[in-house]
C-alpha cells in the first residue's frame, strides 16, 4: 500500500493507487490511532508498520459504510489487533446482518453494491453527532442508506468515504466518472447523495479524504463544481 501523510493527524493508506484505488485512513489521537475503513483486503501489516513507526497503538476502527471494499479487511485487523474497538453507523449495521428492508420513510430504491455477511459484529453503533476521538460523526446517506462521514474537529479534515470520490475527478456519489465508475454503480439513491454532499460542503472542510482517489487540500471550489454537476445530472 502507498502510505501518505496529510497535515498533522491524517495518514492515507492506498491499495493499488494507480489502478484501482481503495483508501483507508489512520487518524492520530493522543491515546493512539483510529483506522477509518479497512479496504477489501486486510491492511493490517501496513497499519502495524505505521503504528510501530509512530509508537502509537491502534485503538479503534470506524467504518463509513457496509460495502465490501470498506469492511473487507476487518477480519485481518482484528486478528492482528485483538481487542480493538470496531464501530459503524447504526443503519448500515443492519446491512451487515443481511437486512435489506427499507424503512417506510426511506426512498424505496434497491440497495446496491457488494454487501458481505461477516462473522464479526461491531462493538459500537454510531449516530450523527457521536464522537470517535477527535472525529465527529456526520450522517451522509445516499451511497448507502446509513453512510456516515467523519470530520476531524481539530483541523476540519473530512473523511467522506464514498459520499464523494476523487478518482477520475471530484464527483458526488452517483455521478458516473468514466475512469472510475464503480462508486456511481454502487450508489443507492442519487438525490439523497446530493443532499448529503451539500451538507458536507457546509462543514467547510479544509481537506477532503475519500474512499477512492487522492486527498484534496482546500476543496471548497472543486466541491462547488461537483455539486453543481450533480444538480444538473440528477435534475
Domain ranges of the chain: 2-234
Nearest to 14 by CA among 171, 151, 211, 164: 211
Predicted confidence at residue 18, as pLDDT, reads 79
Q: DSSP secondary-structure letter at 32? A: E
pLDDT band at 129 (very low <50, low <70, confident <90, very high): very high
Residues 170 and 224: beta-carbon distance below 8 Å: no
Phi, psi dihedral angles at 139 (to 5 degrees): -65, 135
Nearest-CA neighbor of 33 among 72, 80, 68, 66? Answer: 80
Per-residue pLDDT, averaged over 147-154, amounts to 98
Segment 71-100 mean pLDDT:
97
- What is the per-residue pLDDT for 34? 98
pLDDT at site 70: 98
pLDDT of residue 228: 98
In this predicted structure, the answer to whether residue 235 has a pLDDT above a threshold of 90 is no
Q: How confident is the model at residue 31 (pLDDT cuts 50, 70, 90)?
A: very high
Helix residue spans in 68-214 (DSSP H)? 68-71, 74-80, 90-96, 182-185, 190-201
Q: What value does the mean pLDDT take over residues 183-192? A: 98
Query: For the residues 60-69, what does the mean pLDDT come to?
Result: 98
In this predicted structure, what is the pLDDT of residue 17?
82
Rounded CA separation 69/186 (Å): 11
Please check the confidence at residue 202 and state whether its pLDDT lies above 90.
yes
Helix (H) or strand (E) holding 225: helix 220-234
The predicted structure's pLDDT at residue 30: 96
Instruction: Looking at the structure, give the CATH architecture of the domain made up of residues 2-234.
Output: 4-Layer Sandwich (3.60)
pTM tops 0.85, yes or no: yes
Look-up of cell digits 475527478: 169
pLDDT given for residue 19 in this prediction: 81
Closest Cα partner for 161 from 104, 119, 113, 224? 113
Amino acid at each position: 500500500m502507498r502510505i501518505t501523510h496529510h497535515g498533522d493527524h491524517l495518514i492515507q493508506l492506498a491499495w493499488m493507487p494507480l489502478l484501482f484505488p481503495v483508501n483507508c485512513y489512520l487518524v492520530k489521537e493522543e491515546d493512539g490511532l483510529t483506522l477509518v475503513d479497512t479496504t477489501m483486503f486486510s491492511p493490517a501489516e501496513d497499519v502495524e508498520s505505521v503504528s510501530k513507526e509512530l509508537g502509537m497503538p491502534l485503538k479503534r476502527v470506524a467504518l463509513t459504510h457496509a460495502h465490501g471494499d470498506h469492511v473487507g479487511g476487518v477480519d485481518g485487523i482484528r486478528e492482528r489487533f485483538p481487542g480493538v474497538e470496531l464501530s459503524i453507523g447504526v443503519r448500515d449495521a443492519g446491512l451487515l446482518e443481511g437486512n435489506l428492508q427499507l424503512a417506510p420513510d426511506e426512498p424505496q430504491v434497491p440497495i446496491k453494491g457488494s454487501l458481505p455477511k461477516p462473522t464479526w459484529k461491531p462493538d459500537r453503533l454510531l449516530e450523527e453527532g457521536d464522537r470517535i476521538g477527535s472525529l465527529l460523526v456526520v450522517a451522509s446517506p445516499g451511497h448507502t442508506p446509513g453512510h456516515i462521514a467523519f470530520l476531524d474537529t481539530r483541523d476540519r479534515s473530512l473523511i467522506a468515504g464514498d459520499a464523494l470520490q476523487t478518482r477520475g475527478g471530484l464527483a458526488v456519489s452517483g455521478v458516473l466518472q468514466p475512469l472510475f465508475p464503480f462508486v456511481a454503480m454502487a450508489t443507492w439513491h442519487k438525490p439523497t447523495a446530493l443532499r448529503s454532499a451539500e451538507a458536507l460542503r457546509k462543514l467547510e472542510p479544509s481537506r477532503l479524504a475519500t474512499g477512492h482517489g487522492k486527498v484534496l487540500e482546500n476543496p471548497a471550489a472543486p466541491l462547488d463544481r461537483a455539486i453543481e454537476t450533480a444538480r444538473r445530472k440528477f435534475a
